[in-house]
Chains A and B, each alone.
Chain A
Amino acid sequence: MILPQVLWGILLPAVVAGVVLLFLGKRSTAAAAAMAVGAGYAAGCFALWGMPPFPPIDSGDWIFWLAIAAAGVAPLPLPPRARRLAGAAIACALSLLVLLPLVRRSWSAPLGVAAVAGWSAAVLAFWWPLERLSIGAGARFAPVVLWGTAAGMSIALVAARSARLGQQAGMVAAALGAAAVLAWLPERVHLGRGSLGPYAVVLTGLLMVGLHFAQLHWAAAILLLAAPAAAFGARSLAARRCPGAAAALAGLALLALLLAGAVGVQLATTTSSSYEGY
């Protein structure tokens, strides 16, 4: 039972992402990172559950298709303005399509518009600052922060009563894990503008599904959204007074603290006081 989940849900995404980075990393830097994460995630989903239908029946399956779309946009030679427009379109599509069942059936029109607009803004607030911060943060620090965020999200989503959502975040973590390892090789991984589309689409999409269709606590979702940017910020602040390694450790410490807080909030709200294991 466990072995196929580990093999297809962790090892395969890591291997696929690693291969993509090794072959494309030198030629097309930011696009290679986007395509590696997108390909690793898609390979894991396909291996574990098969190809999701298109158009999806379960709104959560839009995450798969929009992650592929984001990976497909990355290598296009777009001017910065067009790239931002494409990113905004993907973020809006993700929010609208994932939340559409609630917009249609459960929410009033104003609430639906507010939720879709709010989530679209949240996706972009997660995505764009991370790309900008990754550029200046050093090629080795950024992949570790992104990997840690995905891994923490995976644990929180499992605690929110959805192993499947947790596995998907785990696939992204596995792909980023490969990137983090390869980052120690010279000139292998470059994160920057256009590199984090699939990463942001998958993780924020999973938070949407976890919050609205599973039992993810809103406070855990906020902590998970804020954790990576906070880690970059802490590193940047610490770098004014400390050497590079110490500053990086400060950033990672804050990341660990925020992720632990998110998992703790989640466990506190979904774990029963009496053990009811099944």
Chain B
Amino acid sequence: MKYAIAFSSLALLLGLAAAHRGAAPASAAEAPASYKVDPVHSMVIFKVKHMGAGNFYGRFNQVSGTFTIDDADPSKNRVEFEVKADSIDTANKQREDHLKGPDFFNVVQFPTITFKGKEIKKAGEQSHEVAGDLTFRGVTKPLKAKVEKVGTGKGRRGETITGFEATFTLKRSDFGMNFMVGPLGDEIHVIVSTECTTS
């Protein structure tokens, strides 16, 4: 019941990071690239320890975002990512109802989890580090995520699509989600998996 908490933020970060990476693989001379997250093929997955025993996984199904990567002029880099907190999915309706309530995500009061990237740095051949602000349950805190480029392909209409996966860890209590910390882990591991179209 307590699991879902930190994940959406993580997903946001990941999406951002992925975007960066998509642009970054290109050479420094490459033109700036703008990406739009495909919500149908993107998700945020989270993992939290349950009762000190097992790892519990859940996901958020509704994500959106855009980002721009300009290696020549990093000041133009932008990342914006949003997760609908109400889209949490744990394969158990009663647990989801609890997670959506005041004990955890409080989705009526805090319907979205957002990430706004400020910095994108190349961290490897296919990876970048994205730094920005995560806003979750009304609390905004700086966050860094590692973004890996998964691959590039062609979509159904021949458009170029690029996949990114971002990972990060956060403490849910830092964002005011302090219910049942202990039985339900405070640390949340997040994977943001995105597929993006280039605009």
Contact = CB atoms under 8 A, between A and B. Distances in A.
Contact of A165 (B102, B108, B176): B102
A213 interface: yes
Contacts of A84: none
Interface stretch (A114-122, A219-227, A270-278): A270-278
Is chain A's interface secondary structure helix, strand, loop, or mixed overall?
loop
A163 interface: yes
Contacts of A50: 178
Is chain B's interface secondary structure helix, strand, loop, or mixed overall?
loop
Contact of A161 (B51, B98, B139): B98
Interface stretch (B88-96, B123-131, B144-152, B185-193): B88-96
Contacts of A4: 182
A54 interface: no
Interface residues of B, number: 23
A58 B94 contact: no
Contacts, number: 68
A209 B109 CA distance: 10
Interface string B110-149: 0000000000000000000000000001110000000000
A212 interface: yes
Contact of A278 (B1, B139, B178, B183): B1
Contacts of A136: none
For chain A, which range describes its interface: under 10, 10 to 19, 20 to 34, or 35 or more residues? 20 to 34
A94 to B, nearest CB: 16
29 contacts: A1-B182, A1-B183, A4-B182, A49-B178, A50-B178, A53-B176, A57-B139, A58-B102, A59-B109, A60-B106, A102-B108, A106-B108, A161-B94, A161-B97, A161-B103, A162-B98, A162-B101, A163-B103, A164-B102, A164-B103, A164-B179, A213-B102, A213-B108, A213-B109, A215-B97, A215-B101, A272-B93, A276-B93, A278-B94
Interface of A: 1, 4, 49-50, 53, 57-60, 101-102, 106, 161-165, 209, 212-215, 270, 272, 276-278
